[in-house]
Chains A and B, each alone.
Chain A
Amino acid sequence: MINDYSLAGRIARITGLGLCLVFTLFPLYWILVTSFKDPGTIFAYPLRYWPTQFSLANYQGLFEQSNFAIYLGNSLIVSTVAAALATVVSLLAAYVLARFEFVSKGAVMGAFLVTQMIPGFIALGSLYILMTRMYLVDSRWGLVLVYVAVSIPLCTVMLRGFFENVPASLEEAAMVDGCSRLSALFRVLVPVMTPGIAASYIFNFVNCWNELFLSVTLLNSDSNKTVPAALNGFISSFNIDWGSMSAAAVLSIVPTMILFAFASRYIVQGLTAGAVKE
């Protein structure tokens, strides 16, 4: 470490970090403040930088004028189920990839990693046609299946890293005692890896919760819409109602922020491990 930090250097550093923090948090602060203003005062001049009176009118308006409760419910169902399915499927694959050597292993890993270089929406058209043929268009369960597929590769890579930290003697001992491989995996390994698995689940959940283009394309009817698809409808209208808009934005940001706060340490670990550990 460099030890000869002067007083001036230290002041510059603290000021710099402070400014970065203010800049980072300001957009979130601003949408929060806007959402709690009285609808009449959002466009009042001069702008108020801190809430003078606390009003829930924007939230009330949002739920009265749109089916936002339904959108929230749809997002919750789709993300919860898709993240759970993806985590289980990835867990099985990651176990095999972490513990065994086989001829096509490089090909499987390569095929998974290539999908990370190509955005999920690149073949939107042909995916739509595939889903039409399978009668899965405009179905929340169809969207769940697609989200599972999109989540698997990165989730598998993350979980594989967590498996490598657990000694194989654990499940071997269980198998000597008569467990099948599957029950050894779920009864012995999974409990040991709970933090890593939870982080992977949260990571999947947040990505599904935030996804826009697939849900806009694959869901048509209003009663099936997820939150991002609904927001896309809101901003496409000619006159955006910024009161309800800010309330909707806050409601869709808060859940993911809370989840990320719990898991960020593990997610950073999982994501930076590969790039840095050389």
Chain B
Amino acid sequence: MSVTDTDRPTATGGRSTPNPRPRPVGGRRPFTGRTALVLLAFMLPAIVFVGLFTYYPLLSGIQMAFRNYNLNDLSDTSWVGLQNFRTLLDDEMFRGTVRNSVVWVVGSLVPQFLIGFTMALWLRRRFRFRGAYQALVFFPWAVSGFLIGILFRWMFNGEFGVVNDLLMKANLIDTPVPWLADAKYAMFAVIVANVWYGVTFFAIMILAALQSVPHELYEASAIDGAGKVRTLFSITIPSIRTTLALTVLLRVIWIFNSPELIFGMTGGGPANETHIVTSYMIQVTQEGDYGRASAMGVMVVFVLLLFAIFYLLAVRPKKAMR
């Protein structure tokens, strides 16, 4: 899960934040040389672990992207420049996964956002059992995307699946649909599962934001005679704009980076119709072509970085905050 408070200026920027955040109760103090050694000893294990098992592979993965590195034939691992990248861009299969990734991200994000937002508005008012309700709808978070994929693979089974059975009972279809075997429907089915998986995340984040909007704003807008729709668009949405923007950004990156559900549900099939870039990357790694897989990894990180920068420039969450 990559849900962090990256958006918190104090977390990323360090000391000189313009944001008037209350000083921590403990206060932050200067310290002397001997204490510095103790503190370094406290930090060291975390830095060593992350450095060795996360950053070292990342950096050595970058150089691998420019080499001919295939586990099945390690006789020649020479530098090949941009050849891995060129092979990929010429690969019709890879271009297909790029198209699928866009469909996968947009198709999952938009319904997740709309349903999650509606749920948050419904949950805003206090009611009996609201706590229990939230705990129940929270449960998908405890389950891995991979298992969600397996659960939905069973439900979308073409012969004995419950989805077909219910749709036939409702007279929406006459014969069972081979959801996961037919290229026409497979992507749709995978996206349905992913929408289901992500709705509660949006609902909970947006609900937390809604509860931070001051009551006075609603009282003032009620006095001014604003209706419900007007209040939603003039008060509610502008007030939580920052959270909405950052939640969407985190979500786009997360959906793009989560091939587990696809692995559980279709394994990328039928005929690679549900492979996205990251799931294809894992398949290529498993086949042993580390050079080409690394090139994909470099492209993924590069594209996500560019996306994050342009997105943040476009929505300017900090400006909206002031």
Contact = CB atoms under 8 A, between A and B. Distances in A.
B319 interface: no
B294 A126 contact: yes
A140 B151 CA distance: 27
B212 A113 contact: no
User: Interface extent on B, as a size class?
Assistant: 35 or more
A117 B153 contact: no
A224 to B, nearest CB: 17
Contact of B143 (A130, A242, A253): A253
B218 to A, nearest CB: 6
Contact of A127 (B53, B136, B153): B53
Interface string A103-138: 001101111110111111111111101100000000
B137 interface: yes
B154 A245 contact: yes
Contact of B12 (A109, A228, A252): A109
Interface string A211-255: 111001100000000001001100110000010011001001100
Nearest to B247: A275
Interface of B: 1-8, 11-15, 19, 24-31, 35-36, 38-39, 42-43, 45-47, 49-50, 52-58, 60-61, 64, 69, 115, 118-119, 122-125, 133, 135-144, 146-148, 150-155, 157, 159-160, 162, 165, 196, 199-200, 204-205, 208-209, 212, 215, 218, 222, 228, 231, 242-243, 246-247, 250, 253, 257-258, 260, 263-264, 267, 278, 281-282, 285-286, 290, 293-294, 297, 300-301, 304, 308, 321
Interface of A: 1-5, 13, 16-17, 20-21, 23-25, 27-28, 30-31, 34, 42-43, 45-47, 89-90, 92-93, 95-96, 98-102, 105-106, 108-113, 115-127, 129-130, 145-146, 148-150, 152-154, 156-157, 161, 163-169, 181-182, 206-207, 210-213, 216-217, 228, 231-232, 235-236, 242, 245-246, 249, 252-253, 256-257, 259-261, 264, 268, 271-278
